[in-house]
Chains A and B, each alone.
Chain A
């Protein structure tokens, strides 16, 4: 090209923002997640020696290949690591990743920075489901699956399903109508939940314990249970990143670029809701992660969903592992509800980010 842009030659423009590359940020977030996971298994009522923990983990990974490493933990320490700590931090990472990526996807679909995974009635539906079975269910489990997670999972999907159905009937693919339908469904389900709860005050403690979120009884079976659902949902959302970038310019323009806004929105909402319902089922209602992590990520890598979604997976996982670590140690041997911790450290951190951002502008 020999043509020069008018006004470009010789003019000094405001310093151009440096071009953002995705890999350093992704690598950094991946490293943060690994360090958070390690910290999560090191720290606890019984501190484990960091070096031996790493050796033990490698030993277990390489074991099936016939390789054994010297210096691995044994006895109680090995049991604490493998049966208590490891499933718990892995579950925390999975739940955090699922909530954060769902939040980012919801914010993208609704073009609304206040959207979070609980927006369309997932939280209220899960809350109602859990409360009903805590109060009234004669059985504790269905097969290997606990009745509370099952009811929460079904409740969350029913909540979102009602909101999407109502929104579609009322407004087609008009997003404000869908949001309002979500608000209506959530309010109704929350009222029903309160009603059931007030009639069964004996169960209040258990209900509140669930509502505030907990990872205390995490087992390998939980990890195995959520992995397929969260895996599929996250994969779908990650694949939708570029399409969401197109959707961000508006429905008509997205259409003119060859994308189906209605279909894409439905696919993303379904995948994000599946991830949210799965997370809620095993951990209760952990607030703030889905709202705040995507915003933190956007500060780091910009607004493109192709980068925000994978970063949210990593940062969300790391965030929740660290929050869970704090929940275990702050009042040890007692445990704080993890939802309290995420809000307690998340809110000031976020406020600080906003403040720094405002000053920079």
Chain B
């Protein structure tokens, strides 16, 4: 494919395999994750779903090394525990659920922060950094607002800027915590389409949490259902999204409708009123 050469911003080595082996974590004495075991193939998209408080964000934060945990995380077979942070940052990028958007910083300056692990902390961005940043912003349609203040962008544009910052890292695995939490349906679809395109073009591995089950089923190729800190179901969207599972783990009444783009979850109102 000539695509790889066309995009300087493409990850150098494509996506990586991510293995999570017996990962447990706690807040104080409360156990939040219990021996979680997951595998994501290179170029795959795993969506972690589960009811509120099931440990989705903690799982992402533990895998990334922000939260103390037991167990092992391997990226392409290499354990990340004990790996220097910079080195980890070269393969794993992260976009949090509620990103802090600094004041008085332009979109370009913000996206350029993604180049941090690629150069000494004291050094100014070099030509290659500026090129990668320009390419990423171009791909995500951010070029027109490059010099605008980040805080003046719309919610959808800000979400794309956060994504652009993560992509400027040229990671092999992209971790997204609720990338659509603050977006309406149209903008949520735009962002997920974008992630999907990047994944297909660059072979990037994506691990995300998603609370919208229908979107999760349509975009991810594998789902892991987390309940009380344990993986209770893992597999293709059709395998995981069942009325039975939604009832058991979400306490929800819902039908699962199988459409051409994947299973859709349809809430059903109780009829005792």
Contacts and interface: CB of A to CB of B under 8 A. Distances in A.
Are A and B a genuine interacting pair, yes or no?
A: yes
Interface of A: 1-3, 5-8, 11, 13-14, 16-20, 111, 239, 242-243, 245-246, 248-253, 255-260, 298, 302-304, 306
Contacts of A7: 141, 144
Given A1-B6, A6-B141, A259-B121, A17 B65 contact: no
Contacts of B103: 303
Given A14-B148, A17-B147, A243-B121, 12 more contacts: A5-B141, A16-B147, A17-B148, A245-B102, A252-B96, A253-B99, A256-B64, A256-B94, A257-B114, A258-B90, A302-B105, A304-B104
B244 to A, nearest CB: 35
B182 to A, nearest CB: 15
Contacts, number: 119
Contact of A5 (B64, B99, B143, B165): B143
Nearest to B103: A303
23 contacts: A5-B137, A5-B140, A5-B141, A8-B144, A13-B144, A19-B147, A242-B116, A242-B122, A242-B123, A245-B105, A249-B165, A250-B99, A256-B89, A256-B92, A256-B94, A257-B114, A257-B169, A258-B87, A258-B88, A260-B85, A298-B104, A303-B103, A304-B109
A3 B106 CA distance: 23
B192 interface: no
B100 A253 contact: yes
B174 to A, nearest CB: 11
Contact of B86 (A8, A16, A258): A258
B146 A16 contact: yes
A77 to B, nearest CB: 45
Contacts of B87: 258
Interface in B98-119: 99-106, 109-110, 113-114, 116-117
Contact of A258 (B85, B99, B143): B85
B143 A8 contact: yes
Contacts of A258: 84-90, 116-117
Interface residues of B, number: 52
B169 A17 contact: no
B139 interface: yes
B61 interface: yes
B113 A257 contact: yes
B100 A239 contact: no
Given A257-B117, A258-B85, A304-B105, A249 B100 contact: yes
A2 B65 CA distance: 38
Nearest to B171: A256
Contact of A248 (B100, B138, B140): B100
Interface string B70-103: 0000000000000011111110111010011111
Contact of B96 (A18, A245, A246, A250): A250
A249 B89 contact: no
Given A252-B96, A253-B99, A3 B139 contact: yes
B145 A13 contact: yes
A111 B103 CA distance: 10
Given A6-B141, A246-B113, A111 B100 contact: yes
Contacts of A298: 104
A249 B121 contact: no
A255 B66 contact: yes
Contacts of A256: 64, 66, 89, 92-94, 175
Pairs of residues from A and B, 7 with the lowest C-beta to C-beta distance, nearest first = A303-B104, A258-B86, A258-B89, A250-B100, A256-B94, A248-B102, A5-B141
Contact of B113 (A2, A19, A245): A245
B158 interface: no
A246 B116 contact: yes
A259 B65 CA distance: 12
A11 B99 contact: no
A7 B117 CA distance: 31
Interface centre among A14, A246, A252, A259 (most CB of B within 10 A): A252
B149 interface: yes
Contacts of B100: 111, 248-250, 253
B116 A257 contact: yes
B142 interface: yes
A11 B141 CA distance: 12
Contacts of A239: 122
A67 B149 CA distance: 52
B19 interface: no
B129 interface: no
